[in-house]
Structure 1
Amino acid sequence: MKQHHIDAELALPGARGLLEATSGAHLAYTAEDGTPRVVPVGFFWTGTQFVISTAETAPKVATLSAHPDVALAIDRGDTPGDARALSIRGTASITMVDGVVEEYLAAARKSMGAAAAAEFEQNCRKMYDRMARIAITPTWVRFYDFGTGRMPRFLTELAAKNLG
């Protein structure tokens, strides 16, 4: 997918809303044994990359270093009318950071009040001497808004054929 298509998908109001209001996602990757993994993660969107942070000893760090192709799913909504999702494919790069990754704290601030965020930061700085900063550069992005009919093409075609 060309960069302008990626940027266009991420610029849609619903997609921007997910990126601004949501800090939780699901990361999919292939483990060392060749089997798939999906794990819940926190993320922060920098405007060009999705940043996920974890302990440097987390199993996914070594795996992603060897196999950097990933998928990321960000979704929200409990009813068909308000269900929205971003589906992202990309390439992960890992950097070890002394202390706490700043985007980790920024992601937490999106869902916490000031006092809780300050306590969270204090606890993180005590816990982590080093962290892995996993930066995912998107190579493909699609925004779905099921309430407005912005669905995967196969569903749109099926609905047109059968509900038509």
Structure 2
Amino acid sequence: MTPHQIAEVLDRPHSRALLARDITRLSYVAADGTPRCVPIAFTWNGREVVCCTTRNAPKLVSLRRDPAVALTVDTEVHPPKILLLRGRVELDDVDGIPEEYLQMNGSYDMSEEQRVAWETEVRSLYDGMVRLVITPTWAKLIDFETTLPSAVEELVRQRAERQPA
């Protein structure tokens, strides 16, 4: 896909709503060669998906070896809205707590007192984190209104071809 095509997909209203959600599913190939898919908090900065993880996270070994990733952000209602992304991850080791980490976890329902306690705990636990910065190289929105999974699109075409004219 071209950058323009990716931007067109990501600028659709359903895509923008999905990119404002809290959790994505990050898929990558683990060190043992098997696939992994893990839920992870994220934020969208308008160009990149940013996730944060601990410096000792096992996924970092795999992502350093093979930076190809896929992401899924979706809804839990019918009809589902699904944003599929592919890209390459860049790992950025950061001293302290990345601002994105505080931002992405700021959307959870917490009282001000809970928020202060949570942030104090985070700052006492982590001396640094790794930012996972993913620039999309491919994007597809499935909204079941204007777009469908490619296999379903194929079935719709085949059905139309079978219909008498």
TM-score normalised to the size of structure 2? 0.89
Structure 1 residue 46: deviation in Å?
0.9
What does residue 5 of structure 2 align with? Answer: 5
Kindly state the Cα deviation for residue 33 of structure 1 after the two structures are TM-superposed. 1.5
3-state DSSP of counterpart to 1:121: helix
8 A contact 1:108–1:117 mirrored in 2 = no
TM-score, normalised relative to structure 1: 0.90
1:143 has 2:137 as partner = no
Unmatched segments (≥5 aa) in structure 2 = none
d(CA) in 2 for partners of 1:34, 1:43: 25
The alignment status of 1:102 with 2:106, answered yes or no, reads no
Question: 1:53-92 maps to which residues of 2 (within 5 A)?
Answer: 53-79=52-78, 81=79, 83-92=80-89
Q: Does 1:158 align with 2:123?
A: no
Letter in 1 for 2:61: A
Q: Distance in 1 between matches of 2:13 and 2:74?
A: 14
Backbone CA RMSD of aligned residues:
1.6
The alpha-carbon deviation at position 149 of structure 1 amounts to: 4.3
Q: CA offsets, 1:84-103, max 9 Å, x none?
A: 01100000010111111111
Q: How many residues align?
A: 160
Match for 2:11: what amino acid?
Answer: A
Identity %: 36
Q: Which moved more, 1:59-68 or 1:108-117?
A: 108-117
Report how far residue 152 of structure 1 moved: 1.9
Q: Distance in 1 between matches of 2:2 and 2:108?
A: 32
C-alpha change, 1:117 and 1:2, in structure 2 (3 Å) is farther
Alignment partner, residue 121 of structure 1: 119
Q: SS at the partner of 1:41?
A: strand
1:93 matches 2:93 = no
For the residue of structure 2 that corresponds to 1:100, the secondary structure is coil
How many angstroms apart in 1 are the aligned matches of 2:47 and 2:81? 21
* Rg (Cα) greater in structure: 2
1:32 counterpart SS class? coil
For residues 75-134 of structure 1, give each alpha carbon's deviation from its aligned partner in whole angstroms, at most 9, with x where no partner exists: 11322x2x1011000000101111111111111112334624443322211111110111
